[in-house]
A = this chain, B = another copy of it.
Amino acid sequence: MAAKHSGSAGDVWLRRPARAAREAPPLSRDRIVREAVALLDEEGAGRLTMRRLAERLGTGSTTLYWHVKTKDDVLDLALDAIFAAVEIPRPGAQDWRAGVTALISGWRAVLLEHPWSAALLGRPMLGPNVLARSEFLYATLVGAGVTEPHLTAAAYGLSNYVIGSALMQATWTAQEEDAPRQAAREFLRDNRDRYPVLATHGPLTGDSDWDTSFALGLAWLLDGIGSDEQRTERAP
């Protein structure tokens, strides 16, 4: 009646190593976050569960709580982790407009590559990767001569615009499923008397090009920021 792991003489060789080269590397916060990102990429936010995450890591779900305080922590860490992929332009290597455009585009690319991320943006983003990129944004704007209240408006405006755009695009291009988009199109066509303009000019009528839409709006914002900056520079 030996219990599961009780030792009896000479059975060392029969027992499999406590862990070792079974699931390979030991558990760590870093490994948890990497696996969480992989899980989110493959299956979406709805399927991220402490139990399922633990299973992929070869442990019980309760073990995760030694490395991480809550599931929300995992989400915060995963969200910050993906921003490591956004390259920070070398400061001053180009004019402010090119630098900001590069950063914002990289930001957007990351959000679209990990569609689950857009829905998580409603939480404070204070991870080191996000902060480093915000620092560059502010530094570039300040360097361009943008001052309050335009500075805050510019930084927020640009961030809000990428976030909103990514959220909208991720919503409507969810994993190849053209079904909801198709259904919406049909609904508008069937109700063209109630929504005449939407039915004929709406975003679902042509195959709207997300990239050029985004670029146009970004240019408008940059124009505005630039004109205020010039005005400020010229003032005594």
Contacts and interface: CB of A to CB of B under 8 A. Distances in A.
Nearest to A224: B220
A167 B221 contact: no
Given A220-B221, A224-B223, A160 B171 contact: no
B213 A153 contact: yes
Size range of the interface on A? 35 or more
A121 to B, nearest CB: 6
Contacts of A126: 184, 187
The listed residue with most B CB atoms (<10 A of its CB), out of A139, A148, A164, A194, is A164
Given A160-B168, A171-B123, A209-B149, A220 B225 contact: yes
B198 A138 contact: yes
Total copies of the chain: 2
Contacts of A157: 161, 213, 216-217, 220
18 contacts: A118-B122, A123-B171, A124-B171, A131-B194, A134-B202, A138-B202, A139-B196, A151-B201, A152-B208, A153-B213, A153-B216, A156-B168, A157-B213, A157-B216, A160-B160, A160-B168, A216-B224, A217-B224
Ranked 4 nearest A-B pairs via Cβ: A220-B224, A160-B164, A164-B164, A157-B217
